[in-house]
Structure 1
Amino acid sequence: MKWILVISAIIFSVLSQGESIICEHENPERLICENLDITTTIENIEPNKQVNVTIINGTGIAPDAFKNLDVRELIITKVRLYSYEARYIIHQITTADPLTLQADSFNSLHNIISLEVFDTKLIYEANPLIPLKKLQNLAFRNNNFTEVPTDLFSTLNDLQSLRILKNPITGVHTNAFEALKHLKTLELVDNDIQILQPGCFNGLDELTHLNLLKNNIVLQQGSDLAQVLQGMPNLLNLVIAINGNVRLEPGTFDGIPKLEVLDLSGSSISHIPKNVFNRLSLLKSVMFNRCRIGSIEQGAFSGLNLTEMIFDSADFGKTIDSYTFSDLNVTRFGLVSNYQMSEIKPSAFSGLRGDILAIMGSELTKIVAGTFTGMHVKELAVRWSPIVEVEQDAFKDAYVETLYVDDNSTIVLNRYRWGIPESISIKTICYAC
């Protein structure tokens, strides 16, 4: 059961007076604590529960404010409270208001393993997290940080997860997380990060998940990204989605050889050359959704053994060139909602092997001879495209068990005239469904 503490305060003088807070149960699951400007004492909470502290109109937390709590998880949220017809109306803060923490505000929280601080502009002189020796999870959201608060990490030896969200951080400096030797998950999401300095992730030897979603990272040289990714030899999952310009070059990901999941969705990629992914023998999933891709070199993905590769709503021009996806093993391959694409050249999928290839949503009007030559897939879906012609030998030397098309597709009526092999079973799917 989650206990919710609502703390209301008005005047700063309580910090020196040391008055006790008065707590009353509004109902069995809600404890309202009200005092003046500084939260001084929180008590009467059942031990080993998650405590959600909502600070209303307050500006700080006094020393030992949590001395009577024995909890493992603590969430601190700042809101504004207004009175309307004798009822409290709480408005979530979008611009963080100040909240002052003392060096010993969190004293006595010896058993806490998770701390989350939302919607507060944190003000502190000495590190208030020093008492939290067992902390494993730490999250900050909308705290008005302009840089990574490295000074808070110095004693967090057991921290495994760190999330910093929605802060105006424009750059991550070298050795920003070096103290966090046992960190497994790092999320720097929606922070407007533009610059990642080389070595910014140094020391994260145990990191497995790095999420840089929704920033404005500009990496004009592939070597820049390669240098940034140093120091994380055990990284398994990397998200660089919805960012700025990302340039890929041979060897870009060589420093993270254990990578299994790569998400580049929403980024601008000028070119994907060969030998970018060739050292990633464990790679299973690659996402290019909503990417703007200038060009893809022939054989850029050759030799990969993937579970999935998805280009959903990606812009890689009007043409897929020959051998673009050659010698690729992928269980599920999706070219979906790519409405700029109007041509697939012969042997574009030569040597591709997998269970499903979906070409769904394009401007294709013709499937030319040799389009699927050398391809081996169980299921091929060609849907939501204005195809009016399939040339003879489009499926020459291709293995396809089932071809899925729309119920209004011209392929159904013309399969024999267009020379689609009888060995391929054609199944229709409702176009509008």
Structure 2
Amino acid sequence: MQSSERKAIHTEARQSPMQADHHYTPRWGALCMLAAGLALTSQALPSCPRACRCGAAESAADCSYARLVAVPERLPPELTRLNLSNNAIRTLAAEQFGALTRLEDLDLSDNLLAYVDGDAFVGLRSLLDLRVARNRLKVLPVGAFAGLPKLRLLDVSGNEILGFLDFTFRELANLRVLKALQNAVVFVSPQAFAGLTDLRQLHLDGCNLTSVPTEAFVHLGGLTGLSLHRLESAVLPNYSLLGLARLKELIIANWPRLETLSVNSLVGLNLTSLVIRSCNLTSVPYAALHHLVYLVHLDLSYNPIGYIQGNRLEDLLRLEEFHIVGGRLRLIEMGAFYGLLHLSLLNVSRNLLSTLEERVFQSPTALQRLGLDENPLDCDCRLLWIARRRSSLDFGRGPPTCGAVVRWDFLDYAATEIVELLTCRPPRIRPHQRDLVWVEQGHTAVLHCNAEGQPPPSVTWRNPELRALTDLGRIRAVGNGSLEVRYAQPQDGGLYRCVASNAAGNDTRSVEVRVRALSKSKPFRFKSWLVALPSSPPDQQEPSFDVKTLMIAASIGFLSFLSSVSVCFVAMFFWSKGKGQIKHTANIAYVPRTAATSSNGGAGNYVETSRFTMKLM
């Protein structure tokens, strides 16, 4: 080995100087090219402003945090990116960036901009992204974004914009994303979004809007994502988003008064993702969701939803993710997720759940991620299925815990120990009353069913036809496990069954109800003009009414009526006498044709033949 190394060294030493120079030529060539590139680059940006940091290789200028009060002059025309954020720039003059024809990214965020000239951005024909977030703009003048034919992103969030006027964005035919969050928008004109034919994402904050600007959305036929934040509306009205047929993602967030979604509020949409967060929904809007058969992601977090009903989400065939975090969820009924064969993620963290049973799923094996932490879970056998699947489930932020006083992680125990720790006691119905209950017709019978077990069993009642009874109707199950038969009728009689069930089994008890019908009414017999009780049993007699009795009754009634009328007339007579002499109020005289006697055609004497006089009191 040493002889070979010596030979190699000796051979290298014998090489001529020309050969040695040829051996090192590639290294020196690379260094020369790098030096030439740096020289050319430094010549490409000869006039970088003193307050800015220019990256020549990337044609970028970073002027952020430079305490600028105006846009720097003599910016290099070769710039493709310019960062002017976090300064004190107050206004933008006309054609402020007219020389930057190659600029693609302009950031004016976090300044003091209160006014933008209508021609401020003229000349930026290559601009793709424009950020004017967190300034003091109150109005976007019409035409302010003229001259930006290639603009794809516009961010005006965090300003004080009061409204969007008609045709404000008319020149932005290629705009894809418009962000207008955290403003004080009071109105949106019907033609505000006219011209945005290629818009895909709209993020709108309308903290002072009282309704969805439906007329303005008509112009956004290509929209695929819509975020509506902080609207002061108590309901999402019917057909609010009609016309947005391509919409796939809808976010409704921070509507403090939103309590419900109208049945047809989402008609016309084919959503794949729906988020309704931090609102005031007290129940899952089943009716508004049932037609969203393409929905994959559903998030109803931070709403005061109390329970999820069974078999109400079965129309959402493609649903894969369901989130209800930070709510008031106390119960998920059996079969709540029946029909959701592809449900792989369920997140119900930070709620009030006492358990989550396996029977709420139609396909529990499809579940891959489960968020169940920060719930007051009971330590019983209903959690065994989670313990058995702990190796295949992703619990996200943390594993679930159980225990009333001291919370403990039941997933840390071995399989044999968990079976002994998470136990249930089958239900047992305590004997409380007779197995036969009598009730008078028209009265109310109460059937009691007191059951005990671990976990506390649920009690249901079934009528003689074995149909389950609800808390509605004349015969109803009440909250304490009892059954009320109100205004009992003969047909209500029969055998009623009380069924107590929990995860460990069930128990049944039957109670027979018999209704005592009312007896027939006892007739009276009229023997004379006086009514008398019959001497013989009433069920052996028939009431008899003769003509004499009817005549006597009619005479008594007529005499009573006549005497009452007479008394009234006598009283009126004496009352009128006490008023004094009757005075005339009107005189009407009637004079018929007169009989005249004349001689030789002369005038005769008129003789009055009769007179009528009417006196009115």
Provide the residue aligned with 1:414 in structure 2: 423
C-alpha contact (below 8 Å) 1:61/1:102 kept by paired residues: no
Is residue 52 of structure 1 aligned with residue 40 of structure 2?
A: no
Q: Deviations over 1:118-165 (max 9, x none)?
A: 303254656121122222221112332101243311222222111112
Q: Which of 66, 80, 84 is the equivalent residue of 1:72?
A: 80
Which segments of 5 or more consecutive residues in structure 1 lack a partner in the other structure?
A: 1-24, 35-41, 80-95, 396-401, 422-433
Provide the rounded CA distance (Å) in 1 between the counterparts of 2:128 and 2:70. Answer: 24
Q: Secondary structure at the match of 2:119?
A: coil
The DSSP-based 3-state class of the residue aligned with 1:150 is coil
Mapped pair 1:129 → 2:139? no
Amino acid at match of 1:277: L
- Residues 57-89 of structure 1, C-alpha deviation per residue, up to 9 Å, x if partnerless? 554458xx336431112222353xxxxxxxxxx
> How far apart are 1:173 and its partner, in Å?
2.4
Query: In the superposition, relative to structure 1, how do residues 321 and 114 fare at CA in structure 2: closer, same or farther (>3 Å)?
Result: same
The answer to which of 203-212 and 145-154 deviates more is 145-154
- The Cα offsets for residues 357-389 of structure 1, whole Å up to 9 and x where unpaired, read as 333332233669x97276776228455433449
**Does 1:108 find its partner at 2:64?**
no
* More displaced 10-residue stretch of structure 1: 230-239 or 370-379: 370-379
1:166 corresponds in structure 2 to 158
Distance in 2 of aligned mates of 1:239 and 1:53: 32
User: Which protein shows a greater Rg?
Assistant: 2
What letter is aligned with 1:229? F
What is the distance in 2 between the residues matched to 1:413 and 1:245?
46
Is the 1:174–1:202 Cα contact (8 Å) retained in structure 2? Answer: yes
Aligned-residue offset at 1:246: 6.3
* Secondary structure of 1:292's aligned partner: coil
Paired residues of 1:164 and 1:188 also in contact (CA < 8 A): yes
Matching residue of 2:36: none
Match of 2:277 among 277, 289, 296: 289
Q: Distance in 1 between matches of 2:306 and 2:54?
A: 66
Relative to the length of structure 2, the TM-score reads: 0.50
Cα distance in structure 1, aligned partners of 2:179 and 2:170: 15
For 1:71 and 1:332, the matched residues in 2 are separated by 45
Percent of matched pairs sharing the same residue: 17
CA distance, structure 2, for counterparts of residue 376 and residue 134 of structure 1: 53
Instruction: Tell me which of 279, 282, 288 is aligned to 1:300.
Output: 288
* Deviation of the 1:332 alpha carbon: 1.3
- Say if 1:323 and 1:301 are closer, same or farther in 2 by CA, change over 3 A: farther
Structure 1 residues 250 and 321, CA gap change in structure 2 (3 angstroms): farther
1:207 CA drift (Å): 0.4
**Alpha-carbon spacing, 1:205–1:125, altered in 2? closer, same or farther (3 Å):** closer
**Distance (whole Å) between structure 2 residues aligned to residue 156 and residue 31 of structure 1:** 25
Kindly state the Cα deviation for residue 345 of structure 1 after the two structures are TM-superposed. 4.5
Aligned to 1:427: none
Letter in 2 for 1:306: L
AA aligned to 1:112 is L
Contact conserved, 1:185 with 1:209, CA < 8 A, in 2? yes
Q: Any residues of structure 2 matched to 1:273-288 within 5 Å, and which?
A: 273-281=262-270, 283-288=271-276
Matches of 1:240 and 1:44 in 2, distance apart?
Answer: 39
2:376 to 366, 377, 386: 386
Determine helix, strand or coil for the equivalent of 1:152: coil
Q: Give the Cα–Cα distance (whole angstroms) in 2 for the partners of residues 377 and 212 of structure 1.
A: 40
Normalising by structure 1, we get a TM-score of 0.68
Partner of 2:193: 201
In the TM superposition, what is the alpha-carbon distance from 1:32 to its structure 2 partner?
5.8
Kept in 2: contact 1:47–1:70 (CA 8 A) = no
Give the number of the structure whose residues are more often strand, by fraction: 1
Q: Is the 8 A contact 1:287 1:311 kept in 2?
A: yes
Matching residue within 295, 316, 320 for 1:331: 320
SS at match of 2:238: coil
Q: How far 1:210 moved relative to its partner?
A: 0.9
1:360 to 336, 349, 363: 349
**Whose helix fraction is larger, Structure 1's or Structure 2's?**
2
Q: Which has the higher contact order (CA 8 A, sep 6+)?
A: 1
Q: 2:50 aligns with which of 30, 33, 53?
A: 33
